[in-house]
């Protein structure tokens, strides 16, 4: 199991706001790694920076041995990394199928057609509704679409930013089951969650982020059992 993603001493600013203050972590091939933390801790900022949407002030991001520094944001996906962003951000006025097609933007039509079948297997609901305009889907369906869309690029590493946000418990369970499925089929997962309990239950390893710094890290089960994490993130 080699290191797939390595982030070293990442510093990210929004203007003069110092949001990420020297974050380092790594994700190994085949793992599910979760990044947990309170609101405003900097989880999304970290993912968006790795995904290329934000430019770090300093620090190093290496993906499969390749330094991503200075790479255009739209090229990152071709390296084998997909980000399923916070708030889903599906293309509301486009159909389900068109959204999925956009997910495969960098790939040939033949490759995309093959992956589409796979995504439909994972999300049969999307197949039923392929002609529906995405904005009219339910929240859970939109989350499935966002995940399916990210999968369409056949990523080696899938980054998910709060996939359970705003979903009913039964759907949350379903989404987490699918994440585990994706992982079993060979996709490495970097998962950001507020729902720390669920995240820790499926992850191999975890990092705890607090106001822009990593304060704890280790085996997910051990962290889940630690008093500090229980108190701060698991409601007792």
Partner 1 sequence: MLANLINGISLGSVYAIIALGYTMVYGIAKMLNFAHGDVIMVGGYIAFCSIAYLGWPPALAVLAAVVVCTMLGIVIERLAYKPLRNATSLAVLITAIGVSYFLQNAALLIWTSNTKVFPNIFANLPGLTLGDMQIAPVTLITVLANIVIMVALTLFTGKTKMGKAMRAVSEDKGAATLMGINVNRTISLTFAIGSGLAAIAGVLLCTAYPTLMPTTGAMPGIKAFTAAVFGGIGSIPGAMLGGILLGVIEIFGKAYISTQLSDAIVFSVLIIVLLVKPTGLLGRKVNEKV
Ligand X SMILES: Nc1ncnc2c1ncn2[C@@H]1O[C@H](COP(=O)(O)OP(=O)(O)OP(=O)(O)O)[C@@H](O)[C@H]1O
Interface residues toward ligand X, by CB under 6 A? 14, 17, 19, 37, 39-45, 86, 194
Nearer to partner 1, 37 or 80 (CB): 80
Residue 93 binds partner 1, judged by CB under 8 A = yes
Shortest CB 194 distance to ligand X, Å: 5
Nearer to partner 1, 57 or 231 (CB): 57
Q: Which of 3, 7, 17, 104 is nearest to 58 (CA)?
A: 7
Q: Which of 154, 153, 164, 148 is nearest to 187 (CA)?
A: 154
| Residue 133 per-residue DSSP state | B
Residue 86 binds Mg ion, judged by CB under 5 A = yes
Shortest CB 41 distance to ligand X, Å: 4
Cα radius of gyration (the chain):
17
How far apart CA 15 and CA 161 sit, in angstroms, is: 23
Distances from the Cα of 87 to the Cα of 38, 101, 142, 143, 190, angstroms:
17, 20, 9, 8, 17
User: Of how many residues is the chain composed?
Assistant: 236
Shortest CB 103 distance to partner 1, Å: 6
Shortest CB 97 distance to partner 1, Å: 10
Question: Of 111-140, which residues contact partner 1 (CB under 8 A)?
Answer: 135
| DSSP-assigned beta bridge partners for residue 189 | 32, 158
Partner that binds at residue 210, options partner 1, ligand X, Mg ion, none, CB closer than 5 to 8 Å by kind: none
Residue 195 binds Mg ion, judged by CB under 5 A = no
How far apart CA 24 and CA 19 sit, in angstroms, is: 14
Q: Which of 218, 208, 224, 217 is nearest to 41 (CA)?
A: 208
* Segment contacting partner 1 by CB under 8 A, of 10-18, 57-65, 69-77, 181-189: 69-77
Partner that binds at residue 101, options partner 1, ligand X, Mg ion, none, CB closer than 5 to 8 Å by kind: partner 1
Which helix (H) or strand (E) covers residue 63, if one does? strand 58-63
Q: Contacting Mg ion (CB under 5 A), which of 34, 44, 48, 195?
A: 44
Residue 91 binds partner 1, judged by CB under 8 A = yes
Judged by the rule CB under 8 A, the positions of this chain that interact with partner 1 are 51-53, 72-75, 77-78, 82-83, 85, 87, 89-94, 98, 101-103, 105-106, 135, 149-150, 153
């Amino acid at each position: 199991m080699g290191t797939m993603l390595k982030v070293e001493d990442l510093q990210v600013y929004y203007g003069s706001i110092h949001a990420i203050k020297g974050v380092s972590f790594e994700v190994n091939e085949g793992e599910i790694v979760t990044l947990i933390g309170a609101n405003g801790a900097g989880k999304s900022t970290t993912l968006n920076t790795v995904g290329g949407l934000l430019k770090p002030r300093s620090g190093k991001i290496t993906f499969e041995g390749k330094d991503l520094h200075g790479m255009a944001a739209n090229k990152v996906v071709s390296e084998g990394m997909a980000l399923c962003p916070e708030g889903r951000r599906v293309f509301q006025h486009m159909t389900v199928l068109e959204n999925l097609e956009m997910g495969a933007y960098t790939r040939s039509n033949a490759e995309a057609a093959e992956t589409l079948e796979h995504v439909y297997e994972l999300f049969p609901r999307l197949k039923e509704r392929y002609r529906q305009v995405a904005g009219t889907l339910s929240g859970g369906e939109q989350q499935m679409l966002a995940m399916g869309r990210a999968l369409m690029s056949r990523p080696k590493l899938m980054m998910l930013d709060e996939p359970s946000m705003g979903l009913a418990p039964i759907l949350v369970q379903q989404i987490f089951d699918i994440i585990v499925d994706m992982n079993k089929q060979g996709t490495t997962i970097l998962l950001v969650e507020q729902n720390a309990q669920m995240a820790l239950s499926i992850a191999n390893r975890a990092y705890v982020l607090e106001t822009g710094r990593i304060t704890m890290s280790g085996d997910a089960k051990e962290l889940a059992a630690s008093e500090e994490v229980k108190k701060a993130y698991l409601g007792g």
